[in-house]
Structure 1
């Protein structure tokens, strides 16, 4: 059973220009880390991602949630984790601070992810294997489907898994083949044009078949110029995505996105405020067939439901260290499967946890094995860092979710 809890405020300053975008010019990649230690000495590690300030507040909230799990056996806990998640996320005083968003929901993500890590380690398997080996009923028991009843009842969720069971064994070939990655680090916002060009060449040489550029400059001509630099270096066969990180108003987005279409972006990401679903719908209709991607700042399954209902997004970037953890990630993935919308996670975890989740999405739900974002900046801090070879994630085989961090020196 869970005997001890450790919460850590962990922050990692980045190199010059790394991690920068149109809104976040000098981020400090940070984790609110939850460790759940059971009576056999096994430690489950989970975290939520922030950019520095406020990470301590997430840690304090995580402490509150984690304390409520003391004395619980992990197998018993996960057998009905959907009910546990529902109870914690709707705690009557804490809920006022959300609901289901902000500091408290990030804290719940940290604790939830630690539960899944402990569960996989207790069984001695990597998280992707634990999840893919579970029965549909066992998976559904870990999910909170409340507020989704109009789109996804328990019976409908079970049927989605059953409908996608054929082909599951064939799809397991991804375990040995590896999952494609895409390179986000070619074009951070503060990088010079020359560095963007150099990084684009390097990514191609390293085998990446997709890459992403940060846009959202005060001068749109800078964005247009830099996007064509990437396209020139990448060639016609490589997918190039553009990410505005919420910088534009709708009138700006309508004008600039149309101008950016000339370089044939695979998607345009977070073009405007993430809460403005109708603005995304207007923009999506205006720039079709170019698609929008979003989810980095969408905090919960209900808002994702609305995006899917309105047809506002061509790609969903749900992040398990932004929503309420692995449980809510799977819930959103189920919704996306119903709508046949690809899930391409944002990786606040640097791909550590999500490399497991995209395998599960593909094998058990039949999601397309499109690609997963790759950001290498924190690799040296993980006990088992994600491995990319020739632009492809190599499947992790160590027990757990690959989220254990090395002690800070």
Structure 2
């Protein structure tokens, strides 16, 4: 199956009032820069990168630059040593100068890489999670670029980690029957009224969700405390509640407000300060313990993830395959996190479409803990094969590919 041409689409979606809002991104427009790999077999690989609208056209232009070398490649041959191809794209001198491995170029890389994996799974007529599980440890590691990680994760160590978990896979395949547990991230968008978050919490609980997330980071911390107490009172003591500041606080503010939010016993406090501030997160994590820090939504690449993990600056890794350099880098960071004992609970800029596959592989193939996966339903109607949630569990996708196809 040969790639014959590349099509790029700028897809933007307006949201209902208040939906998607947080302390930093108050009026978002969800958008995808889409890479389409057309083939001689009338099969198209679809890759997504997530943005908030403005600038999506810049990512689309960068996709054009990065993907040109894929035309004429046969998909099995391409993916047999994709790690080398990947590094060639990210280290092309003119593009590397624009990052390296950050911003518009890194987002474009995600779309291109995700399209390659989607096409690979479609060419084999299997869903992405099964494609990844069917690969040998060596074949999977061949799709990764482990450069700049050598002091903490070598190729041999990555293969050994995957190999060591082969014999126990069957003990973790129950997830293919039960589905993968979800958590509701939409109960408490930042611009929702107090009445709305209470109503949403009751609805989520009635739909089977036992884990919920609230957006915090108000200019008035008392608003955050009040709303957090409302959700805790409504959901009950047994519910798992996370709070997400979306980078709003400086370190002194974070230390003060996190301590006060401890009253509701949050499962984690997400993005408490600027996403590039490794030592700031380290200080927060050390000071607020045993409260836990989650981060990764805006960490742009594997190197900075490595630094966060080395500094013990995160308790939960929230890598997102439509924001770092695609599925390849997601898997690399998942291996790195596993080797350092940190669970992966992805952020889902893809609305869970791709990540429902990736968490299955992480759990079965790497022995990452089955915690839960973020659920955001706001773009469900735009996907050909939308993620399905039943009683708060993601159902196992069966359609070939990565579930990324968007309706025309």
| Same-fold call, TM cutoff 0.5 | yes
Q: Please provide the CA RMSD for this pair.
A: 0.5
CA distance in 2, matches of 1:229, 1:359: 33
CA distance in 1, matches of 2:367, 2:115: 26
Q: Secondary structure at the match of 1:35?
A: strand
Give every structure 1 segment of 4 or more consecutive aligned residues whose post-TM-superposition deviation is greater than 3 Å. none
2:41 corresponding residue in structure 1: 40
CA distance in 2, matches of 1:387, 1:59: 29
CA distance in 2, matches of 1:68, 1:401: 22
1:229 corresponding residue in structure 2: 230
Deviations 1:308-332 (A, max 9, x none): 0011110000000000000000000
2:262 corresponding residue in structure 1: 261
Q: Secondary structure at the match of 2:70?
A: coil
CA distance in 2, matches of 1:135, 1:237: 41
Aligned length: 407
Q: Secondary structure at the match of 2:293?
A: strand
Deviations 1:277-322 (A, max 9, x none): 0011111011101100000000100000001001111000000000
CA distance in 1, matches of 2:252, 2:366: 38
2:293 corresponding residue in structure 1: 292
Structure 2 unmatched runs, 5+: none
1:128 corresponding residue in structure 2: 129
1:16 corresponding residue in structure 2: 17
CA distance in 1, matches of 2:234, 2:343: 27
Alignment of 1:315-330 (within 5 A): 315-330=316-331
TM-superposed CA distance for 1:179, in Å, is: 0.2
Deviations 1:188-212 (A, max 9, x none): 0000000000000100000011010
2:212 corresponding residue in structure 1: 211
TM-superposed CA distance for 1:22, in Å, is: 0.1
CA distance in 1, matches of 2:381, 2:57: 23
2:68 corresponding residue in structure 1: 67
Deviations 1:41-68 (A, max 9, x none): 1000011000011000000000111111
2:170 corresponding residue in structure 1: 169
Q: Secondary structure at the match of 2:122?
A: helix
- Provide the TM-score with structure 1 as the length reference: 0.99
Alignment of 1:70-89 (within 5 A): 70-89=71-90
Say whether residues 1:241 and 2:239 are aligned partners: no
CA distance in 1, matches of 2:395, 2:3: 31
Q: Secondary structure at the match of 1:93?
A: helix
2:31 corresponding residue in structure 1: 30
Q: Secondary structure at the match of 1:30?
A: strand
CA distance in 1, matches of 2:404, 2:230: 35
Say whether residues 1:405 and 2:406 are aligned partners: yes
TM-superposed CA distance for 1:171, in Å, is: 1.0
Deviations 1:371-395 (A, max 9, x none): 0000000000000000001100000
CA distance in 1, matches of 2:62, 2:375: 29
Q: Secondary structure at the match of 2:97?
A: helix
TM-superposed CA distance for 1:166, in Å, is: 2.6
CA distance in 1, matches of 2:231, 2:54: 33
